[in-house]
Structure 1
Amino acid sequence: MIDKNSPLPIYAQLEEQIKERIESGNLKPGDGLPSEREYCERYGISRMTVRQAINNLVNDGYLRREKGKGTYVAEKKLEQQLQGLTSFTEDMKARGMEPSSTLLHFEIVPAPESIAQLLSVGQHEPVYRIRRIRLADGKPMALETSHIPANLVPGLTPDIVAGSLYQYIEERLRYPIDHSNQVIESAAAGEMESRHLSIPAGCPILLIQRDTFLKDGTPIETVKSAYRADRYKFVTTIRR
């Protein structure tokens, strides 16, 4: 029920009720919510009040809107700690999820100037260009484009990159991966991200640029990833 005499605003009461149903499991990911009109009639409140509660829950990641369809309970976001360098495969397995990849492109190309600088190779030296959709339990999580020096990492094949690239580098080639530099920023999904991640164009995504290095400082990979912002979030501990 809504207590109109409560000091807690009506929109906040409705927000808490919906959130409680989600957290208790009464509303599950993918379930549709009643329309704004139904909430208005059920509680005798204004549409503006209902809209504010729904907007807050969308912004907090509890709900998602589908244009022309309605409002649905969102999938719970996966958290990735920003401590420790792990591959996508390692990260998903640590969560008890089944990682997989859909390989879109695998080719050796002359290194463009920008990629050559990041990998410390000569311009036009051969590099692998690998584009994959990364999935967890069969659901698309990220669109990833990697560049790797072909002379440094010989023998890559589509079958190898279908699994864990880091595992191949460390266990087969015996190269010790040491650290990476990573930049994360927000962006809107373009046509390519929309198509491969099954999200509408313009939806928020997390863009990640990661440059990975061996123990001796040699660059081993530069990768750009577009993560679904409705399914992924990054957390870190900051100490004073």
Structure 2
Amino acid sequence: MPEWDRPLPLYVQVKQALVERIQAGVYAVGEKLPTEAELAREFGVSPATVKQTINALAAEGIVIRRPSQGTFVAGLNPEPGAVPLRSFTEVMRERGIPINTRLLISEIRPAGAKVAWQLDTGAGEPVLYLRRLRSAGDRPLAMEETFLPIDLLPELAEAGKAAEFASLAEGSLYRLLEEGYGLGLLGAEETIWAEAAGADEAAALGIEPGAPVLVAERVTEVSGHRRGFLSRTVFRADAYLLKFRLSRYARRETKETKGETRGGWGGR
């Protein structure tokens, strides 16, 4: 049984140990990992800790979960040009900006045609709809809508469970889904455009109706499911900029450029 470093969460330490094994070739790309129960016994931790570890590895694309088959090594090299998957809360925390979240709406509603198409599900299927206002101090920065299919978390259909989930969604929704509900977040597709603020968005963000806003629509993929969940975030245009690094020719990866983010949101 390994000696664990107390300051780091156990799941992070187990994750580091597994990454080192993948780097050393103990587990090759395409190879199936031991079961979560086997890893729990080997590392002397709880099954819940191992599940958290596998979720974190899956979120980074290092492993892939295949229903009824197991967990397989995908590799340590991210998709070329990919931006690391982070929630709004995580991005702001990395920039040293404390974020306040206020829940505006929480309800189970039928999926409309557009949401159903985005999530590859049937129109009218139940989703948990959350509308949250994200602020830095007293200044609103973004209004976020989330559409979470109930079949992703069937327990939300039970009486009081959706309200309980919503009450916990005041921080990072990604962290809540990973650590609180055991979902593995794999990646996301995001589309960004500019438009004029509607009345509800303007009221929430403290701007004039028709003022320019940036909209980011993201579908987050969840391990073991065809599609995950949809989020639509409306940003104040005067609070954000989107910066990319462009290159005419492919650069050779060096120690200095390895893992460099090619683009991302930056708060002004």
Do they superpose with TM above 0.5?
yes
- Residue of structure 1 equivalent to 2:206: 198
Paired letter, 2:171: G
Output the CA distance in 2 between the equivalents of 1:123 and 1:147: 13
1:159 aligned residue (167, 186, 203): 167
Deviations 1:149-184 (A, max 9, x none): 112123442211122211111112221111111111
Structure 2 match to 1:184:
192
Query: Could you list the runs of 5+ residues in structure 2 that have no partner in the other structure?
Result: 1-81, 157-161, 250-268
The AA in structure 2 aligned to 1:192 is D
Query: Is the Cα–Cα contact under 8 Å of residues 175 and 214 in structure 1 kept in the other structure?
Result: yes
Aligned length: 160
Please give the residue correspondences for 1:125-144 in structure 2 after superposition, counting only pairs within 5 Å: 125-144=125-144
Q: After the TM superposition, which parts of structure 1 deviate over 6 Å for at least 4 consecutive aligned residues?
A: none
Choose the corresponding residue for 2:222, options 214, 217, 221.
214
Q: Which residue of 1 aligns with 2:96?
A: 96
Deviation at 1:122, TM superposition (A): 2.6
Aligned AA (1:84): P
User: Per-residue deviation at 1:217?
Assistant: 5.6
Distance 1:192 1:164 in 2: 23
RMSD: 2.0
Alpha-carbon distance in structure 1 between the residues aligned to 2:95 and 2:195: 26
Q: Residues 204, 177 of structure 1: CA spacing in aligned structure 2 closer, same or farther, 3 A cutoff?
A: same
Alignment of 1:51-90 (within 5 A): 83-90=83-90
Residue deviations 1:62-99 (CA, integer Å, cap 9, x gap): xxxxxxxxxxxxxxxxxxxx821110111111111111
What secondary structure sits across from 2:124 in the alignment?
Answer: coil
Give, as a single letter, the amino acid of the residue that structure 2 aligns with 1:198.
Answer: G
Point out the structure with max Rg over C-alpha: 1
Normalising by structure 1, we get a TM-score of: 0.62
CA contact (8 A) 1:97 1:137 kept: no
The equivalent residue for 1:225 is 233
What SS does the corresponding residue of 2:101 show, helix, strand or coil?
Answer: strand
Where does residue 177 of structure 2 map in the other structure? 169
Q: Which amino acid aligns with 2:238?
A: D
Does the residue aligned with 1:144 lie in a helix, a strand or coil?
strand
